[in-house]
Chains A and B, each alone.
Chain A
Amino acid sequence: MSVAHETHDDHGHHVELPFWRKYVFSTDHKVIGIQYAVTALFFLLFGFTLMMMMRWQLAYPGQPMPLIGTFFSEANMPGGIMVPEFYNQLGAMHGTIMVFLGVVPLAVGGFGNYVLPLQVGAPDMSFPKLNMASYWVFLPGGLIMLASFYAEGGAAQSGWTSYSPLSNTAPAGQTWWLIGMIFLITSSLLGSVNFIVTTIQLRVEGLSFFRLPFFTWAQFVTAFLLLLAFPPLEAAGVMQLMDRVAGSSFFLPSGLVISGQLLDVAGGGNPLLWQHLFWFLAHPEVYVLILPALGIVSEIITVNSRRPLWGYRTLVYSIISLGFLSFIVWAHHMFMTGMGTAMSNFFQTTTMIISIPSVIILTALALSLNGGSIRFPTSMLFALAFIPMFAIGGLTGLPLGLTAADLHLHDTYYVIAHFHYVVAPGTVFALLAGVYHWYPKVTGRKMNEALGKLHFWISLIGINVVFMPMFFVGMAGVSRRLYDQTQYAYGAQVQGLTAMSSWGAWFLGAAQIFFIINFFWSRKNGEKVESDNPWNATTLEWATPTPPPHGNFPEVPKVYRGPYEYSVPGAKSDFSPQHVEEG
């Protein structure tokens, strides 16, 4: 891979950078993008492994875990049997790691960093040093999160949502979680400024906003969400840290009795304040999880259908409105907190409204296929599967967004199924699609198709076996975050479904081995690409050498048309690249 191996000293001579500035503390967006992507993929695997462990306890409550059960400490798994506190740690860290260390760094830090400057024709991000800083603030944040398992009393164990007062009085790992979050939020803020400025300032001549690839639009809107939604959580994190470390009572009401002891704090605080601040970020955060995925899928579908994206302008307006609306739905996570009719009516209404742009986008993606000439490389398989999977996730949000139905479904497995459908066979599939799609640009070789297809089909089946039963488990009434659902008659009744989910998860985990092998093996042994543009795509990232050198474009490109001019009647070939003057 080519990196910023050169820089210019004062006299304009090219100077070779030492190893640590070329590959470690690089300011080149492509190196930073790869750093983010590889780190995030590792965290995704780690977070998934935590869940695979939890699935044993869920399927066979109270049974010793075979093979690896004895590797864990006496405190966490005496005799190989997970204790409830450890189960809660795995749960809280699974959510935290997947969202903040896995999906967002891969979707935004990885794909956004690598592809966005290329798609706007820029030599790098507007602020390369800031970009480097954002990665090197992210990594310590992630390591602090991982290290928190060794804190006294274990890692954070109050859910990724860290509700007060439970998280206030939780063991030390929660403090590490808060500190880690401050690092991660800071990293995110530094990155989002870069994305917005680069998109506005560094577009090449002819590349107006309405000629930008939809991927860039998606990253642009996402950056605004990160910029504006994260600070309230940072404020909340600081306040919870103050509660835990400095003895304040921001989230602690008076008169709490914990384990029979009256808690010695001033009181006067409000647990719902935490919830409002948390969800004010966390709802836009879930749009941060999905928007880049919509961008990636749009690119792959158009390239492999050989026709323009349907309703480009409509899509752009939809994604912008999705961004705005995501800020005014947050309290639908709080319907059961004692909310009255006025507030709940408002949030139900905005939640129903936000479903509209999502449906428009999904419909546009499906309509883009109509009239196409569709090819099915692995990237396209994952991108296509995204669509119905995200549809299931989106549709099942409807009962949850209506308070009357939420009365029954709140905090049950139905919720878990809903959001996992959106994020797991939704976003993660889109991210995998992106890896298969852009791998040739980054490495000069394609990933192996046979392994890719195997990876796809087993993952698709496995992931549905995991999550589809959960809708029924939730409908039956089983609550979330239960160490052992068989304590309840209705839980025992559907325990078979829960066990099925576990086997699906292990099956799904095994399938990822094909991906891991393919990812590393193809670097040196994959089929070499014949051209810089193996997929015959139109967008600017394919107009660079492979891999792109420092500065990306040997000559500054000019843009002559929109991003999806495929199969233009009368054109020389079935694609008209943005930077080529003659159609």
Chain B
Amino acid sequence: MDEIPYTVKPHPLSGLYSGKLGIWLFLASEVMLFGALFSSYILLRVGSDSWPVGSELLNIPLAMLNTFILIISSVTVVLGWASLKLGEHGKAKMYLWVTVLLAFGFLIVKGFEYGAKFSHHISPATNNFYATYFTMTGLHGLHIVGGIAVFVYLLTSGSKLLEENPEHYTNRIECAGLYWHFVDLVWIFLFPALYLL
């Protein structure tokens, strides 16, 4: 007996296949991670004598663009998963590649933002507002990179599984999609917290 059960079929008690349960647990730990950073931000800001106004220092139009990019990418990832469920493999791959491209777009826009700051000699060392800004968006950016890596893998060398076991493959995309929604959600909180408030 060496097939691991419930990898594809859901478990009768939990109603989930194992990967989905696993990714939700992982996301719980990510909530704790970003929660700790948000809490630290609040503590530092409340405890400081003067805290810069984010809207005066940061590029809101670019950040709004990035917000749209991520929201659309969350839509495309769901469309990709839905196409897989309907058996439309070609369409699915198209949607998923669009997701990857959008993710790259996000990073490029971020790159512009960071570049503009660095060229004005602004860095995490400048003050705690910028330290918080760079650390939180930087860690978020690393999570975007991680997401890109997973999707690219699933679309290239990992795509063999689509032929062998489409249901299993679809589940992997679903899990990646859940992670992607979470990364999107973190940005939805980051944007107002850093740029607007």
Contacts and interface: CB of A to CB of B under 8 A. Distances in A.
Q: Do chains A and B touch in the complex (CB under 8 A)?
A: yes
Interface of A: 8, 122-124, 126-128, 130, 189, 192-194, 196-197, 200-202, 227-232, 234-236, 238-239, 242, 246-250, 265-266, 268-270, 273, 277, 280, 550-556
Contact of A197 (B25, B49, B126, B127): B25
Contacts of B4: 122-124, 126, 128, 202
Given A235-B40, A270-B43, A551 B1 contact: yes
Contacts of A122: 4
B11 A268 contact: no
Contacts of B25: 192-193, 196-197, 227
Contacts of B18: 126-127, 197, 201
Contacts of A553: 1
A268 B44 contact: yes
Interface stretch (B30-38, B54-62, B83-91, B179-187): B30-38
A32 to B, nearest CB: 15
Nearest to B16: A201
B128 A201 contact: no
B29 to A, nearest CB: 5
Given A123-B1, A127-B18, 14 more contacts: A123-B2, A124-B4, A127-B22, A200-B11, A200-B21, A231-B35, A232-B35, A232-B36, A239-B135, A242-B131, A246-B134, A250-B128, A268-B128, A555-B1
A327 to B, nearest CB: 10
26 contacts: A123-B1, A126-B22, A127-B18, A130-B22, A192-B25, A193-B22, A193-B26, A201-B6, A228-B28, A228-B29, A230-B32, A231-B36, A234-B36, A235-B34, A236-B36, A239-B40, A246-B124, A246-B134, A248-B131, A249-B127, A249-B128, A266-B125, A266-B131, A551-B1, A554-B1, A555-B1
B32 A246 contact: no
A266 B33 contact: no
A137 to B, nearest CB: 14
Interface of chain B: mostly helix, strand, loop or mixed: helix
Max chain B C-beta neighbours (<10 A), residue from A123, A234, A238, A248: A248
Interface in B118-145: 123-128, 131-132, 134-135, 139
A354 B13 CA distance: 31
A268 B46 CA distance: 11
Nearest to A556: B1
B131 A249 contact: yes
A249 B134 CA distance: 13
Contact of A227 (B28, B34, B47): B28
Nearest to B11: A201
Contacts of B34: 235
A505 to B, nearest CB: 37
Nearest to A264: B125
Nearest to A553: B1
Contacts of B2: 8, 123-124, 550-551
Contacts of A268: 44, 48-49, 127-128
A130 B25 CA distance: 14
A192 B21 CA distance: 12
B43 A273 contact: yes
- 9 pairs of A and B residues whose beta carbons are closest in the complex: A247-B125, A248-B131, A231-B33, A232-B36, A551-B2, A235-B36, A231-B32, A248-B124, A246-B124
A273 B42 CA distance: 11
Given A235-B33, A553-B1, A246 B128 contact: no
Contacts of A227: 25, 28-29
Contacts of B1: 123, 551-556
Nearest to A190: B26
